[in-house]
Structures are given as structure tokens and as C-alpha cells.
Structure 1
Amino acid sequence: MMKKAIGKYKLLITAALLTMLIQVGATLWQPSYMKSILSVMANTTLSTSGKIDKISSYGVALIVIAVVGLVGSVLNTITAAKIAQVVTADLREMTFRKIQTFSYADIEKFKSANLVVRMTNDMNQIQMLLMMTFQILIRVPLLFVGAFILSIITLPQLWWIIIVMVILIIIVTGLSMRAMGPHFGAFQKLMDRINSIARDNLRGARVVKSFVQEANQAKKFDHESDDLLGHNLAVGYIFAAMIPLFTIISQLAIFAAIILVSTFVTKSASVAQDQLGGIMSFMQYMMQIMFAIIMGGMMSMFASRGLVSIGRIREVLNVKPSMHFDTTEDETLNGAIEFDQVSFAYPNDEQPTLKDISFSIDPGQMVGIVGATGAGKSTLAQLIPRLFDPTSGTVKVGGKDIRHVSKNSLKQTISIVLQKAILFSGTIAGNLKQGKPDASSQEMDRAAKIAQAAEFIDRLPEGYNAEVEERGNNFSGGQKQRLSITRGIIKQPKVLILDDSTSALDARSEKLVQDAFNRELSDTTTIIIAQKISSVVHADKILVLDEGRLVATGTHKELVADSEVYRQIYATQKAKED
């Protein structure tokens, strides 16, 4: 995944590595000049003017090295930031496109809140990891190795001090990382839960306020937030202990080096000049070693969050969609529908929702589906446009098994208006064109008149360009349903499925919609899922479901005469109406 995303930015990566090498080289080169400056100052054979000349030349060289290192650092930061931005943008697009290939079952497996966190927070973690990789993580081992070798070359007698300091710092870093690991692993899971609570609370704000549940929702959110705070504080406390420990170790190492060098100078005055010059370089190299280990430890701990996020994104990208289409060849299908011994169970459900369903529908027929709540009506409807695949049996449209029909052919043939009317932010026209991207104003007018949406659209000053707020909150339930029906019929499908999509309409509006269907969509196979039998009483055929089984089929009159389940539903509803 990462190799594919990074591979096309080889030029940027090369630039980042080169500028990093310049920065590391400048950092390692500076202490050697400090040694030369101190050696000149300790040289008793040189005149004052000679010392000034040499120190001036070394000073100029130090400034040049510093400028080169600064330029390298700036360029490295720019290239690292660009790599992080472009690679993350590509990953985000890849992930979004992958999610678009998911079936309903795949989305249910991850949950929408979880996918949102992966697309946002996890992507931010990956972006930080990429930035750190090309700015710090690769630089750290180069700086460590370079400083280690140069420190031993500078004062070979003190090699063991470097080894002891490195071992102690590595031990402290390892213990700290081990203590922080579980906390970093918990961060993303807590972020998922917090995002889910916030999303549900904001979406259900009216319900929360209606039932005065603000305190309970705040308590639930506070519980998860406090857990996240606890993990963050634990990491902060470990960091608070790490830095002083690193400082103590490095200062003790420097103190030991100074003491030992002073004994060398006392014993042998002949080496005083070289040793005094070398001690400053040695100290700087020790600080660079310490800095490399500290930064490596800290960055590796932060990188662990990035690696967790990479794993979460890889998990999405590696998913093989549970639904695939055998062909890409488009074909024209008619409105005939056939179920042959179809059963279906949702993932992780022990009992099937539909059991051995068989029926057929001729092109142009209006078919109603009724049954008690939970009988499987919506599930049956969702199998026709292949939102789910049956567990067993065959679903055919136009005489073709839908598993062997191209995606485009199926989508052009079938429109489904779901039970919950969902509108997207934008305009009315933008929402309607989701049904047909190239829909003309005449086509929108025709569909809106059939769905009885034209009556309120025409009253809006902007007409089809009127704004649609988030989730269509500026429209009533009935208006949203009529807009959803308009979107469903705008492409003139051969099969139109209405999943209880007139439940929010008053009796007059529902009658007008049904009359328009009979008049304008006589050639369209219409499947109406309804709670009210009055919505399907004039259908050519009515399917009666009970506990996932098809228990009766016929017209209204036939079912009243022959089906006990249908009679009970009809009698109950008629009694309510009376």
C-alpha cells in the first residue's frame, strides 16, 4: 500500500534524502572546527595575530557550514511536507474509492463512524509519520552512527563512556516505549467511540432534546473522553520522566569525560593542546548521540500510532468486496423479476431473515408487499437491486441472474427509493441529478410532477436551485420523501421499488402519487412496500410475508378471501380507520 503510494514520487524522495544528508553532514562537520579553534587557542607557539587569522578562517568556515546546514534543513522540511501531503492525499482518495466499492454488508462490518475516523484521524497520523520519516526518523540513525564514529576518533581513550551512555539511554527509551505502547494502541479505539457518540448525538439532537437526555449524553461522552485523557496523561507522565533521565545520563557522561581529560592533561602536558581541543568536540558529539537516541525513541513512539493507522487503512484497502460483478458488458433488461427459493441471513445473524421465497413478476405490473414489522419486506426489496446477495437461491431481473449482469445494466434498470429519505447538502437539482447526472430541466419537471414534488418546488424562489441543508433539514418529512421519489423515477427505470416511501405523505398526496404512477409509469414494474394496505389495495399482485416466509400471493380480493394473515392485517387497519 505505502510502496504504491510513495513510488510515484521518487524525485521528491530523492530530494528529501539529499537535503537530509546535507543537514546531517553539516551537523557532524561543525564540532571538528570547534576542536581546531580550541587547539589554536591552546597553541603557545603561535603569535596572537596568527591565532586571530586561523580562528577567523575557521569561523568563516563554521558560518558557511551553518548556512549550508540551514538551507538543507529548510529544503528538507519543504520536501518532507510535500511528500506527506501528496502521499496522504493519494491514500485518502484510494481509501474513499475503495469504500465506494463496498457492499452494504462490507460497510456494516466496519461501521460508518469507524470509516470516518479512518479517513480523517488515521490519515492525519499517517501524514505525521511520513513527515517525521523524511525529516527525522531517517536522519536519526545517520546522525547517531556519524557522531559515534567521530567521537571515538576524536578521543579514542573515552570510547567506553559513549558505550555506557548509549546503553543507559537505550534502556530508558526501551522501558518508556514498553510502558507507552498499550496507551497508543488504545487511542484509535477511543477515537472511534468518541466519534460515534458525537455523531449519534448530533444526528439525533431533536430526540435528545425531546427526551431531555442532554445530561446522559454528556455523561456518556465524558466517560470516553476521560478514558482518552487518562491515556494521554499517562504518556505525558512518562515523557516528563524521560527527559530529565536523559539529561542526567548525558550530563554525567560529560562530567566523566571532563574529569578524565583533565587527568590526561595533568599527566602529559605534551598532549594538552590536542586533548583540550578535542574535549569540546567530544562533548558535542555526545550531545548529538544523545539527541539522536532521544529523538529516535520519541519519534518511534509517535510512529507507532502512525503504524497502527497504516494497518487500519491497509485493512480497508485489502478488503475484497463481498459483492462482485462477473461482467462489464451492458445489456438492456426488461422489468420481469423472479425469486427462486431465495433465503437470506444478515452477517453474524443466526436466523435467516428470508426463508425459501419464490415468486415472479411480469413487466409493467404493480406489486405490493405487506406484512408485520420485521417480516422481511425491506430485505426482500434490497435483494432486487443487489444491495445484498441472497444466502441461497436466485434473483433474476429481465430473465437474467443479477449476479451475472453488469453493475451499470442493473443500476440503469432498477431504482429504489429507500424507507428513510436521505438528501445531500447542495441544491434540489444536485440531489435529483444523482438519479440521472445529465437530466434536463424538462426531465426534472416531469419526475417532480409525478412525485407531486413540483407543487412545493415551484413555490421556491430559486426553484430547482434552492438550497438543501444537511440531511434536508429545511424540508418536511413528506417533502423529503417526494424529492426522493423524484430522484428515483427521473431516469425512467424499468423497475421502481418504493420501500414504504410514502409513509410521511397525507392521504391526498399519496393518492395523487399513485394516480400519477398508474398514468405515467404504466410500463414500469412498480414494487410498493407498505405498512398500510390502502397503499397497495389496487396493485396487480400483493405478496404477503410473515416471519420471513411468503405465505400468500394474489389480489386484494383474493387475499381477503383466502389468506388469514392478510385478513388479520386488513381487519386491524380497517378497525383503526373506523
Structure 2
Amino acid sequence: MMIKAIGKYKALVIAALLTMLLQVGAALWQPSYMKRILSVMADTTLTTAGKVDKISNYGIALIVIAVIGLVGSILNTITAAKLAQVVSADLREMTFRKIQTFAYADIEKFNSANLVVRMTNDINQIQTLMMMIFQVLIRVPLLFIGAFILSIITLPQLWWIIIVMVVLIVVVTGLSMRSMGPHFGAFQKLMDRINAIARDNLRGARVVKSFVQEKNQAKKFDKESDDLLGHNLAVGYTFSTMIPAFTIISQLAIFAAIMLVSTFITKSPSVAQDQLGGIMSFIQYMMQIMFAIIMGGMMSMFASRGFVSMGRIREVLDAETSMHFATTTDEELDGTVEFDQVTFAYPNDEKPTLKDISFKIEPGQMVGIVGATGAGKSTLAQLIPRLFDPTEGTVKVGGKDIRQVSQGTLKKTISIVLQKAILFSGTIAGNLKQGKQDADTTDMDRAAKIAQAAEFIDRLPERYNAEVEERGNNFSGGQKQRLSITRGIIKQPKVLILDDSTSALDARSEKLVQDAFNRELSGTTMIIIAQKISSVVHADKILVLDEGRLVAVGNHKELVANSEVYRQIYATQKAKED
């Protein structure tokens, strides 16, 4: 996944690597000049003027090397940051596009809050990881190897000090990583839960305040937040012991090196000049080795969080959608709808929601679906536009199995208007064009009049360019439902499904909508799911569901006479009205 994302930006990758090499080269080059300066100062054969001249030349060389390293560092930061930004942007777009291909079942499998965290927090972690890779993680082994070789070349007698220091630092780093690894793995899961709590609390703010649940919601959030704090503190405590341990190890190594060099000089004064010059370079190389190991360990621990996030993004990108379309060729279908022994169970549910459902609806018929709460009415409706696939049996539209037609054909043939009116922030026109991309004002006017939305749209100064706030909060429940109906009928579908989509309308508005449907959509197959029998009493056919089974089919008079379930529902509602 990462290699594919990076592969598009080879020039940036090469630039980041070259500037990194410039940094490493400058860092490894500097200590050799320090050795030369100290050797000149210890050289008794040179005059003071000669020493000053040589030290000046070496000093200028050191400044040039430092400038080269600084330029390399600046350019490396720029290229690494740009590369991290463009790759993370690509991954975010790829993830969003992939989610758009998911069926309802796939989204429920991941959970919407989880997917939001993956597209935001996880991709931010990957962006940080990219910066680390091209600024630190690749530089660290190069710096370590180069400093290790040069330190041994500088003072071969002290090679074992380097080995001992490296072993001790690696052991401390390994123990620390082992301690912190599980905490980094828990971070993202806790972020998922915190995001879910915050999202639910904000969306349900009215419910929370209505039932005075602020304290309970705060306690729930605090618990998850405290868990996250605990993991962060555990990581912080480990870091607080790592740095002093590294400092002690490095200082002991420097002390041992100085003591041994002083012993060498005492025993062999003839090598004093070379040893004195080399000790400073040796110490600098030791510090670079220690810095490389420490930075590598610390960055690896932080990078582990990035790799966890990368795995979570890969899960989304590699996920196979549970719904496939047999063809991409669009075709014309009529409004026939047929269920043939359809059974459906939601993922992970043992008990099926629908059981052995069979019926046929002819083009242009108005069909009502009624039943008690939980009878499976909405589930049945969602099978028709193929939001889910049946577990058993066949759903046909226009005489064809919907699994054998294209997505474009289904979209063109079927519209569904849900009970919960979902509007997107933007404009009214933007929401209506989700039903028909090329809809013009004439199309909008016609659909709005049928849905009785023109009543309030015409009162708005901007009309269809009026702003729609987040989730349509600037419209009432009835207005949102009428806008949803407008969006559903604007493309003039062959099959229109209304899933209790007039529940928020008053009796007068509902009657006007029904009259407009009968007048303007007489050739459209209409499937109306209703809690109120009065909404479907004039339907050509009414399907009665009970505990997931189709228990009766007929018009209102036939069902009152022959169906006990229908009669009970009707009698209950009639009594309430009376």
C-alpha cells in the first residue's frame, strides 16, 4: 500500500534521500577535522604562525561542512514534509473512494465512527511516519554504520568500548520498546471509542439535555479518556527512565575512553599527538552512535503507532465489498417488482429478519406494506434497491434478478425515500441533484410541487440556492422529509419506495402529497411503508408482515374481512383516532 502510494512521487523520494545523504556525510565528516585541529595544536614542530594558519584553514572547512549539512537538513525537511503530505492526501482519497464502494453490510462491519477515525487520525499517524522515515529512520542506520567504522579507524584500540556501549543501549532500548509496544497498540482503539462517544453525544445533544444526562455522558467520556491518559503516562514513565540510562551509559563510555587514552599517552609519549587528536573525534563518533541508537529506538516506538495505523488503513483498502454487480451495461426496466421465496438475515444475526417472502407487484401499482414494529418492513424495502442482498431467494425488478443488472440501471429505475430524512450541508439544489445530477430548475420545480416542498422553498429568497446546514438543522422535520421526497422523485423513477417518509407531516400536508402522487405519478410503481393504515388504505394492494413473514395480501376491504393481524392493527389505530 505504502510503496504504491510513494511510487507516484519518485522525484521527491530521490530528493529526500539525496539531501539525507548530504546531512549524514556532513555529520561524519566534521569529527575528522576536529582531529586534525587538535593534532596541529599538539604538534611541537610547528611555529605559532604555522599552527594558526592551519587551524584557520581547518576552521573554514568546518564552517563549509556545517553549511552543507544545514542546507541538506533544510532541503530534507522540505522534501520529506511535501512527500508526507501528498502521500497522506492520496491515501485519504483512496480510503474515501473505497468506502464509497462498500455495501451497507460492509459499513456496519467496520462501524462508521471507526471509519472516520481511520480516515483522520490514522492517516495523520501515517503522515507522521512518512516524515520519520525520510528524516530519521533511514538516516539512523547510515549514521550508525558510518560512525561505527570511523570510530574504530580513529582509535582501533578502543573498539570494545563501542561494542559494549552499543550492546547496553540496544538492551535498554529493546526493553523499553517491549514495555511500550502494547500501549501504542491500544491508542487507536481508545481513539475509536472516544470518537464514537463524542459523536453520539453531539448528535444526540437534545436527548442528552432533555433527560438531564450530561453527568452520565461526561462520566462515560472521562472513563475512556482516563484509559487513554493511563497509556500515555505509561509511555511517558518509560521515556523518563530511558534518557537517564542512555546518558549514564554514554558518560561511562567517554570516561573509559579518556582514561585509556591517557594511559596510552603515559606509556608511549611518542604517540601523544595522534592520540590527543583522535580522542575528540572518537568521542564525537561515540556520541553519533549513541544518538543514532537512541533516535532509532525512540522513532521506532513512535513509528510502531504509524505501522498500526497503516495496518488499519490496509484493512479498509484490502476489504472485498460484499456486493458485486454482474454487468456495467445500463438497460431499461419497467416497474415490476417480484420477491421469490426471499429470506434475509443481517450479518452476525442468527435469526432471519425476513422468512420466505413471495409476492409480485405490477407496473404502476400502489402497494402498501404494514405490520407491527420490528416486522421487517424497512428491511424488505431495502432489498429492492439492493442495499442488501437476500440470504436466500431472488429479488426481481423489471423481470430481472437485481444481482444481474448494473448499478446504474438500479439507480435509474429505483428511488428510495427513508423515514429519517438525511440532508447534506450545502444548498437545497445540491441535495436535490443527488437524485439527478443534471437536474435543472424545471425538474426541481416539478418535483418540489409534487412533494409539497415548493410551499416553503418559494418563500426563501435564494430558493434552491438556500443554505442547508449540517444535517439540515435549519429545517423542520416535515420540511426535511418533503425535501427528501423531492430528491427521490426528481429523476422520475419507475419504482418509488417511501419508507414511512411522511411520518413528520401533518394530516393536511400528507393528504396533499398523496393526491399529488396519484395525479402526477400514476405510471410509477409506488411501495409505501407506513405505520398508519390510513396512509395506504387506498393502495391497490397491501402486504401484511408479522415477525418477518408475509401473512396476508389484498386490498383494505379484503384484509379487514380476512386477516386477523391486519384487523387488529386497523382496530387499534381506529380506536386511537376515535
| Same-fold status (TM-score > 0.5) | yes
Equivalent position of 2:97 in the other structure:
97
Take 1:445 and 1:214, find their aligned partners in 2: how far apart are those partners? 44
Equivalent position of 1:3 in the other structure:
3
Take 2:202 and 2:361, find their aligned partners in 1: how far apart are those partners? 42
Equivalent position of 2:305 in the other structure:
305
How far apart are residue 183 of structure 1 and its match? 0.5
RMSD: 0.5
Equivalent position of 2:230 in the other structure:
230
Equivalent position of 1:570 in the other structure:
570
How far apart are residue 61 of structure 1 and its match? 0.6
How far apart are residue 466 of structure 1 and its match? 1.0
Summarize the alignment of residues 406-417 of structure 1 with structure 2, pairs less than 5 Å apart: 406-417=406-417
Unaligned runs of 5+ in 2: none
Take 1:418 and 1:101, find their aligned partners in 2: how far apart are those partners? 20
Deviates more, 1:3-12 or 1:292-301: 3-12
Deviations 1:401-448 (CA, angstroms, capped at 9, x unpaired)? 000000001101000001210001111111111111111101101100
Equivalent position of 2:81 in the other structure:
81
2:510 maps to 1:510: yes
How far apart are residue 460 of structure 1 and its match? 1.2
Equivalent position of 1:559 in the other structure:
559
Deviates more, 1:461-470 or 1:270-279: 461-470
2:112 maps to 1:107: no
Summarize the alignment of residues 134-283 of structure 1 with structure 2, pairs less than 5 Å apart: 134-283=134-283
2:141 maps to 1:119: no
Take 2:396 and 2:94, find their aligned partners in 1: how far apart are those partners? 33
Deviations 1:149-181 (CA, angstroms, capped at 9, x unpaired)? 000000000000000000000000000000001
Amino acid at match of 1:404: Q
2:46 maps to 1:46: yes
SS at match of 2:429: helix
Deviations 1:334-381 (CA, angstroms, capped at 9, x unpaired)? 100000000000000000000000000000100000000000000000
Equivalent position of 1:543 in the other structure:
543
Equivalent position of 1:30 in the other structure:
30
How far apart are residue 548 of structure 1 and its match? 0.3
How far apart are residue 290 of structure 1 and its match? 0.3
Take 2:21 and 2:456, find their aligned partners in 1: how far apart are those partners? 67
Take 2:120 and 2:329, find their aligned partners in 1: how far apart are those partners? 36
Take 2:427 and 2:414, find their aligned partners in 1: how far apart are those partners? 24
Amino acid at match of 2:3: K
Summarize the alignment of residues 290-301 of structure 1 with structure 2, pairs less than 5 Å apart: 290-301=290-301
Amino acid at match of 2:350: E
Query: Percent same amino acid among aligned pairs?
Result: 87
Runs of 4 or more consecutive aligned structure 1 residues displaced over 4 Å after TM superposition: none
Deviations 1:503-537 (CA, angstroms, capped at 9, x unpaired)? 00011100000000000000100000000000000
Take 1:113 and 1:381, find their aligned partners in 2: how far apart are those partners? 26
Deviations 1:474-516 (CA, angstroms, capped at 9, x unpaired)? 1111010000000000000000000000000011100000000
Amino acid at match of 1:130: M
Equivalent position of 1:60 in the other structure:
60
Amino acid at match of 2:415: S
Take 2:150 and 2:419, find their aligned partners in 1: how far apart are those partners? 72
TM-score by structure 1 length? 1.00
Take 2:530 and 2:4, find their aligned partners in 1: how far apart are those partners? 49
Amino acid at match of 1:407: Q
SS at match of 1:187: helix
Deviations 1:185-229 (CA, angstroms, capped at 9, x unpaired)? 110000000000000000000000000000000000000000000
Take 2:92 and 2:222, find their aligned partners in 1: how far apart are those partners? 30
Amino acid at match of 1:486: T
Take 1:77 and 1:214, find their aligned partners in 2: how far apart are those partners? 45
SS at match of 1:424: coil
SS at match of 1:278: helix
Take 2:453 and 2:459, find their aligned partners in 1: how far apart are those partners? 11
SS at match of 1:323: coil
Amino acid at match of 2:376: G
Take 1:198 and 1:239, find their aligned partners in 2: how far apart are those partners? 30
SS at match of 1:186: helix
How far apart are residue 462 of structure 1 and its match? 1.4
2:375 maps to 1:375: yes
Amino acid at match of 2:478: G
SS at match of 1:309: helix
SS at match of 2:72: helix
Take 1:3 and 1:131, find their aligned partners in 2: how far apart are those partners? 15
Take 1:416 and 1:527, find their aligned partners in 2: how far apart are those partners? 9
Equivalent position of 1:316 in the other structure:
316
Unaligned runs of 5+ in 1: none
Amino acid at match of 2:6: I
Take 2:2 and 2:339, find their aligned partners in 1: how far apart are those partners? 44
2:16 maps to 1:16: yes
Take 1:333 and 1:32, find their aligned partners in 2: how far apart are those partners? 81
SS at match of 1:528: strand
SS at match of 1:531: coil
How far apart are residue 307 of structure 1 and its match? 0.4
Equivalent position of 1:443 in the other structure:
443
